[in-house]
Amino acid sequence: MNIHLKALGCRLNEAELESWALEFQQAGHQLVTNAQDADVTVVNTCAVTKEAVRKSRKLINRLRRESPYGKLVVSGCAVSTGEAGSATELGIDLLIDNSKKNQLVKNVTDSLPISIMPEGATLPAESALFARNRQRAFIKIQDGCRYRCSYCIVTIARGEEQSRSIKDIIDEVNRLHREGVEEIVLTGVHVGGYGSDIQSNLTELVTEILASTEIPRVRFASVEPWDLGEGFFTLFENQRLMPHMHLPLQSGSDFILRRMARRCRTDDFESLVKQARNQVKNFNVTTDIIVGFPGETDQHWSESIEFIEKIGFGHIHVFSYSPRAGTKAAGMQDQIAESVKKQRSAELRTLADQMRKDFITAQLDTTGLVLWEGNHTLRSPGEQPKPHVFGYTENYTRVRTEAREAPNGGGITSCRLTSVEPGGKFADAQICN
């Protein structure tokens, strides 16, 4: 049967989608890019904010309209929190809770009355990644979280920590590399907590990946800053480990961090960033900030902005606080008005845009290795459309160069960063001969 896969939200949802894609193919099914062509459509939902739940429901409704005769399967955090809606309400054929995600493909094939073409199982399947036209692969290394930040619904939806074995991860990385993947991203709910349930840790896993695979580039998804132990940044002496980490700060006010039940204060965060930048050349730190957390006064907001400016980030994901039923923060007093959240979010996005532009500007006239990932035709007012290809340097700076196809047929190419695009979102690059 034809399978169409969709995900919203985090990189972990993308990693799960890749895993399901491979399992469906190994079972003899085919991936399709359009829902209209699908016998079964699978949606991996998000519930990190109320807006994420709204988008999940909107996507489900759209896919139901696009494929009225196909089967619709919905999983993810919006299912586990009960916010996706009932199967009857949304016209869903199968709801799969996060606790049963590992058996999703089996549940789909066992539960839905759709015939399988047995000859498909005997044919070599195209890689799920290539079917989705990707050079980078997200590797799910663990699920769940032992901590309970007061705002977070995801740890409730995902449950206790469960780590994959190092051997299983190594086997997946080597398989993907054989299929042409150039970069992996280690992802999970609590990446830094990897191994807590199997007597291992993130450092041991990364060390083994670098020793037992030849994948050219290894990158991390979001890692909590308190999880990085003594000597962690010595791992980056191996240049296959990319000089970039997404370290979620969430607030630059220690008072708000305490209310969030975060385990890292601003002094600790600043010390960690200084250590990373001192030990790793051209290290890029990106982060998350929650705006308008309950009790965030104008003074706390000013402290947060001042600290964010002091640290400087290559990119900031800005989230407006969204009360989530079942979390401690939802019941806190001093909830912030939506108008205030909107104003503060706009202020922070303006600052974030300037910091990103400053970060890119500081790299001009330097050379980087770019992994090309896609192309796009740019249309500037009064000019002819120009085809460009896009990619990322080692430290996750997005670059573009004018071309119809990726240089040298794709993969990794040495480039010199020459200028900043007027919007400040990426650098223009010139291919090195």
Residue with the bigger pLDDT between 429 and 49: it is 429
Residues 263 and 164 in one domain: yes
* Cα(45)–Cα(237) distance, integer angstroms: 37
Give 108's contacts (C-beta < 8 A, 6+ positions apart): 40, 42, 73, 94
Counting Cα atoms < 13 Å in the Cβ hemisphere of 132 gives 22
User: Each residue of 146-199: pLDDT tens digit?
Assistant: 888 999 987 777 888 999 999 999 999 999 999 889 999 999 999 999 999 999
Residue 269 clears pLDDT 60, i.e. is over it: yes
Residues 115 and 141 in one domain: no
Q: Are 406 and 431 in contact (CB under 8 A)?
A: no
Domain assignment of residue 222, yes or no: yes
Domain termination residue (choose one: 361, 388, 413): 361
* Cα(249)–Cα(306) distance, integer angstroms: 13
Q: Provide the CATH number for the domain around residue 372.
A: 2.40.50
Residues 293 and 191 in one domain: yes
Q: What is the pLDDT of residue 263?
A: 93
Percent of the chain with pLDDT strictly greater than 90: 53
Domain termination residue (choose one: 65, 91, 122): 122
Q: What is the pLDDT of residue 134?
A: 65
Q: What is the pLDDT of residue 113?
A: 60
Domain assignment of residue 127, yes or no: no
Domain termination residue (choose one: 336, 361, 386): 361
Residues 381 and 261 in one domain: no
Residues 176 and 137 in one domain: yes
Residues 241 and 114 in one domain: no
Residue 331 clears pLDDT 90, i.e. is over it: yes
The mean-pLDDT minimum among 60-64, 246-250, 266-270 falls in 60-64
Residues 49 and 138 in one domain: no
Domain assignment of residue 345, yes or no: yes
Residues 215 and 310 in one domain: yes
Residues 316 and 220 in one domain: yes
Q: What is the pLDDT of residue 121?
A: 30
pLDDT band of residue 377 (cuts 50, 70, 90) is low
Residues 323 and 261 in one domain: yes
Domain assignment of residue 268, yes or no: yes
Residue found by looking up tokens 């995902």 in the block: 158
Residue 203 clears pLDDT 60, i.e. is over it: yes
Domain assignment of residue 194, yes or no: yes
Average pLDDT over residues 2-31: 85
Average pLDDT over residues 218-231: 91
Residue 129 clears pLDDT 60, i.e. is over it: no
User: Each residue of 383-407: pLDDT tens digit?
Assistant: 567 788 899 999 999 999 888 777 7
Name the H helices within 297-337: 298-311
Q: What would the two tokens of residue 369 be?
A: 């290795």
Q: What is the DSSP letter of 24?
A: H
Angle CA 408–414–418, to nearest 5: 115
Domain assignment of residue 296, yes or no: yes
Domain assignment of residue 221, yes or no: yes
Give 115's contacts (C-beta < 8 A, 6+ positions apart): 1
pTM for this predicted structure: 0.80
Counting Cα atoms < 13 Å in the Cβ hemisphere of 348 gives 30
User: Each residue of 81-124: pLDDT tens digit?
Assistant: 877 766 666 678 888 888 888 889 888 888 776 544 333 333 33
Residues 187 and 297 in one domain: yes
Residues 380 and 327 in one domain: no
Q: Provide the CATH number for the domain around residue 93.
A: 3.40.50.12160
pLDDT band of residue 382 (cuts 50, 70, 90) is low
**Distances in whole angstroms, Cα of residue 387 to Cα of each of 312, 374, 376, 377:** 32, 11, 6, 4
Which residues form the domain of 394? 367-431
Number of domains observed in the structure of the chain:
3
* Cα(294)–Cα(256) distance, integer angstroms: 8
Of the candidates 379, 364, 378, which has an alpha carbon nearest to the alpha carbon of residue 416? 364
Domain assignment of residue 300, yes or no: yes
Q: Provide the CATH number for the domain around residue 319.
A: 3.80.30.20
